Structure 1
Amino acid sequence: MTEPLLTPLWQDFDATWYRTAYKDVLGEALSLPDEGLQHWYETQGAFSGHSPNPYFDEEWYRRNCSDALEGISNQTYRSGFEHYCNRGYKTQSPHYLFSERYYIKQGENLTPSALMQQGYKNGYDHYLRVGAAQGVRGHLFFNPDMYQQHRAADDGLEALAPFCHFLLADRSLPDRVALSEYFDPIWYAKAVPQSHTMVEYGYVPNLLYFFLSDFTPNGF
């Protein structure tokens, strides 16, 4: 078995991002040095449902991986992230706009065995380091070419691949622009009024997130 060439980007704690993402709830922990903040996340934030970096969506993972939720309930894992790092990375989706199962079908060099031989831990590892920059789709509902048309210019992040740029963008962006040919947020808000209410009251970050959380093919 070939070991990963580098630690996957999704596996690292990002102190700078974490301070910004949770500045309203960190209190005195906001002023901790990076190492101290990581310890605070591991002992308190993880259990509370915080994400450790922009690549992993803890809330989404708990919603969609029953095995992780059960493991948290019986104290086998402190968080969905811990479950993902230990076993979920093989098959589970760490973010609402990346699907491991979808991605590994995008090319013969993306099968689990091929990725392992190339030194990548999983499809998401490859996508963040290589695939996203090459324009490979990681999810049916995220079209990198469409995102390029809407991304902000001159924001200091021009060098980032479309998906990596999206991860640092305003989480409400999918309410204003279509990220793929398969979802029109303006139409959806009118067709499903409760979706707007869920976003307005902070239960979900945006309309697309709500749609993917509650997707029923025969519901329209």
Structure 2
Amino acid sequence: MAGKASEALWYPFDANWYRAEYGAIMDALLSFSDQELEHWYKTEGAPSGHSPNRYFNEEWYRVNCSEAAEAITNGTCLSGFEHYCNGGYKSFSPHYLFSERYYRQRYPDISEQNLQSGGFVNGYDHFLRSGDKEKRSGHLFFDPNTYLQNRPSDPNLRSLTPFMNLLHSEHSLPNSITLSDHFNPAWYHALSPDAVMAVEYGFAPNVLYQFLSTFTPDRF
């Protein structure tokens, strides 16, 4: 690969995001310094299933990467993120709306040679640094042009690229807008009240996440 995992945009711990994401469930986190918070994440938060930043979804990775789940169970990794950094980034998906395999197959120019020459650690690093600015798609269920047409008008996020805009928006946003031609949230709400209930009870951040978590092609 082009370099170590620590050189990727998806790697650094984001203290401000972490406070916003988990502070509501643990007030003590709000009083920690950035350094103290990162130490707490590495020793307590990561093993508990917390994500280190908005780019990596720990829960999604554990459920969809059996290799990581096995490593956590047998004690060779503390978290899915550790597994991802130790080599999982080469092929596994770190977020429910980015697929390493899909991205590389869709864009033949994202070759190993071009990644190395461009200084990118993997396809996801390329997508976050460059591909999103070029309005490339990192997942079948996220079309950047469709998203830009349907996203709320938020002046604070207006300058962000499509995927970055989504990452800085509320987790529930895919409940109310269409991200691609492949999924209509209103249709899914009507089709699957159990999925809506799962979201309402906090088992999934939104209906698209819930759909992708349970999708089997022969169900429809």
**2:210 aligned partner, one-letter code:** F
Q: What is the distance in 2 between the residues matched to 1:32 and 1:151?
A: 34
**2:74 aligned partner, one-letter code:** N
Q: Which residue of 1 aligns with 2:80?
A: 80
Instruction: State the Cα deviation string for residues 175-196 of structure 1 (Å, max 9, x = none).
Output: 1111000001111111122111
Q: Which residue of 1 aligns with 2:165?
A: 165
Q: Which residue of 2 aligns with 1:95?
A: 95
Instruction: State the Cα deviation string for residues 92-133 of structure 1 (Å, max 9, x = none).
Output: 000000000000123232023321222110000000000001
- Taking structure 2 as the reference length, what is the TM-score of the superposition? 0.95
Q: Which is worse superposed, 188-197 or 123-132? A: 188-197
Instruction: State the Cα deviation string for residues 39-88 of structure 1 (Å, max 9, x = none).
Output: 00000000110000000000000010001011111111110000001111
Q: Which residue of 2 aligns with 1:131?
A: 131
Shift of 1:31: 0.9
Query: Are the equivalent residues in 1 in contact too, given 2:51–2:81 (CA < 8 A)?
Result: yes
1:141 matched to 2:141: yes
1:201 matched to 2:201: yes
Q: Which residue of 1 aligns with 2:176?
A: 176
Q: Which residue of 2 aligns with 1:120?
A: 120
Query: Are the equivalent residues in 2 in contact too, given 1:105–1:111 (CA < 8 A)?
Result: no
**1:99 aligned partner, one-letter code:** S
Q: Which residue of 1 aligns with 2:8?
A: 8
Q: What is the distance in 2 between the residues matched to 1:62 and 1:146?
A: 29
The alignment of Structure 1 onto Structure 2 pairs a total of residues equal to: 220
Q: What is the distance in 2 between the residues matched to 1:87 and 1:184?
A: 35
Shift of 1:160: 1.3
Q: What is the distance in 2 between the residues matched to 1:89 and 1:74?
A: 20
Q: Which residue of 2 aligns with 1:60?
A: 60
Instruction: State the Cα deviation string for residues 5-42 of structure 1 (Å, max 9, x = none).
Output: x8211101000100000012233232111111000000
Identity %: 52
Q: What is the distance in 2 between the residues matched to 1:11 and 1:2?
A: 14
- Taking structure 1 as the reference length, what is the TM-score of the superposition? 0.95
1:219/1:103 CA distance change after superposition, 3 Å: same
Q: What is the distance in 1 between the residues matched to 2:62 and 2:119?
A: 28
Cα RMSD between the aligned structures? 1.6
1:147/1:2 CA distance change after superposition, 3 Å: closer
**2:142 aligned partner, one-letter code:** F
Q: What is the distance in 2 between the residues matched to 1:216 and 1:2?
A: 35
1:2/1:201 CA distance change after superposition, 3 Å: closer
Q: What is the distance in 1 between the residues matched to 2:116 and 2:24?
A: 40
Query: Are the equivalent residues in 2 in contact too, given 1:104–1:112 (CA < 8 A)?
Result: no
Q: Which residue of 2 aligns with 1:43?
A: 43
Query: Are the equivalent residues in 1 in contact too, given 2:10–2:55 (CA < 8 A)?
Result: yes
Q: What is the distance in 1 between the residues matched to 2:21 and 2:11?
A: 17
Q: Unmatched 5+ residue regions in structure 1?
A: none
**1:166 aligned partner, one-letter code:** L
SS in 1 for 2:116: helix
1:69 matched to 2:69: yes
Q: Which residue of 2 aligns with 1:151?
A: 151
